[in-house]
Amino acid sequence: MNIDFTSTIPYIPYILQGIIITIQIAIVGAFFGSLIGFLFSLVSHRKNFLGATVRGFIDFFRGTPLIFQLSFFHYGLPQIFPGFLPTAFQTAMIIFSLNSSAYLAEILRAGIEAIDKGQIEAAKALGVSKFHTTIHIIIPQALRNVLPAIVNEFITLTKETSVASAIGVQEILRRQAIVTGTTYRPFEPLLLVGITYYVLIKILSILGKMVEKRLKYDSSSTTI
Amino acid sequence: MIQVAQLFKQFDKTEVLKDIHMTFEDGKTYAIIGSSGSGKSTFLRCLNGLEKPTSGSIVIDGVDIVKNEKELPKLRQHIGMVFQSFNLFEHKNATDNVTFALMKVKKISEDEAKKIALAKLKEVGCDHRATHFPHQLSGGEKQRVAIARALAMEPSVMLFDEPTSALDPEMTVEVLKVMKQLTHTGMTIIVVTHEMNFAKEVSDTVIYMDKGEIVEIGSPKEFFEETRTARARQFLANML
């Protein structure tokens, strides 16, 4: 079997440093994606200009491939706006945020719609403001409803950061290609990359399970 | 006092309420009865603005809530409501269901709110369920917690929208017992119900509605024993 790590070993630290880039893009994407997605989920059903704009935005990001969005932003837009020159890393952070916001907005919307409307009426009847109802009644329940879907989205997001290699972001997959370019050995660095992704995703899904457990609301007492 | 005049409500083209006139006096108990689709729930929901009337006026303590929608959140603090499907906050335990509005609307401190909640839960006989979540409660307990939640706000009016329709007979009894206690507290109580016995024994005034109109108003004795209108007689005949 033609497996030999000797020529790859010196490059392992270089490849593994790409994890930092991968994680950075994933965290930025997840954070801003959640934030923007949350705001979108609150307005996307409205029958006004704002609602229509948000729906159009979501539709665009769900309706085109990620690699197109990255390329369009990184190579397409600078042609039209000459001063606009985002680095590949900046492009990745922005596009991953916007892309995941579109998916998270849809997920959260589903979570909100799954809430029994009677509770919202009950809050209204008690004189509770819309703001407090949204923050304390709607959001906690919507989150709980869709937590598995959100964790799933974060996992997808983390894996898809590999697509950023296509516009030259030096994340882990890109580094593998560079190493292979000098060593002429694709298998060994690819194996390393595969294992790294797997471990990363495993950690993420374990964290997700822990949060899910914590959010269950019947841990304190017994069922009758 | 709640004065309703020339109240109309339309859903698309269906007229649900047609020219309703009614005065609810303070401290009295009213039972609104009628078959399904008679508009009785819609009428009740108009009284705290959950349903917006098409036209007419509802004057509560001098404020017309049809014209002054901005006053609604404030007014609702004085009008408690209990729903057929309980509508408890599912992610909060019984105590927190009660304390929520106390803290967020009345701005009462958490400790104080908890004390009030426990007292109210005790009043409805659910203090032993204080830390239980809605899905761990029986239907009757859920409804009693919902009543405690409304009572904690110290309303002057309580609206009950078919509070026992989703309960089996045993649980209906527990809930009606709690409601009966409330009739002696000086609150105005308006109950939409199918429980003829409750209307007969507990209410001061029975309001019979049919097809969006108030057909007959009278004391329980008058209504059940000396029914004036043919429609009400027909309804009572079908109930028995």
In this complex, do B132 and A121 lie within 8 Å of one another by their Cβ atoms? no
Q: What is residue A217's predicted lDDT score, i.e. its pLDDT? A: 63
**Dihedral over alpha carbons B100, B105, B109, B110 (to 10 degrees):** 0
Q: To which residue do tokens 């007492």 refer?
A: A221
All residues of chain B having their beta carbon less than 8 Å from the beta carbon of residue A140 are 91
Confidence of residue A218 (pLDDT cuts 50, 70, 90): low
CA-based nearest residue to A126, from B130, B98, B92: B98
Q: At what angle do helices A12-43 and A49-63 cross, to 10 degrees?
A: 150
Per-residue pLDDT of chain B (240 residues; tens, 9 = 90+): 999 999 999 998 899 999 999 999 999 999 999 998 899 999 999 999 999 999 999 999 889 999 988 888 888 989 999 999 999 999 999 999 999 999 999 999 999 999 999 999 999 999 999 999 999 999 999 999 999 999 999 999 999 999 999 999 989 999 999 999 999 899 999 999 999 999 999 999 999 999 999 999 999 999 999 999 999 999 999 886
> CA torsion sign, B89 to B94 to B98 to B99?
negative
Q: In this complex, is the C-beta atom of B76 within 8 Å of any C-beta atom belonging to chain A?
A: yes
Q: Which of B50, B93, B136 sits opposite A124 (nearest CB)?
A: B50
Q: Flag whether the pTM goes above 0.95.
A: no
Q: Which of A137, A221, A223 sits opposite B89 (nearest CB)?
A: A137
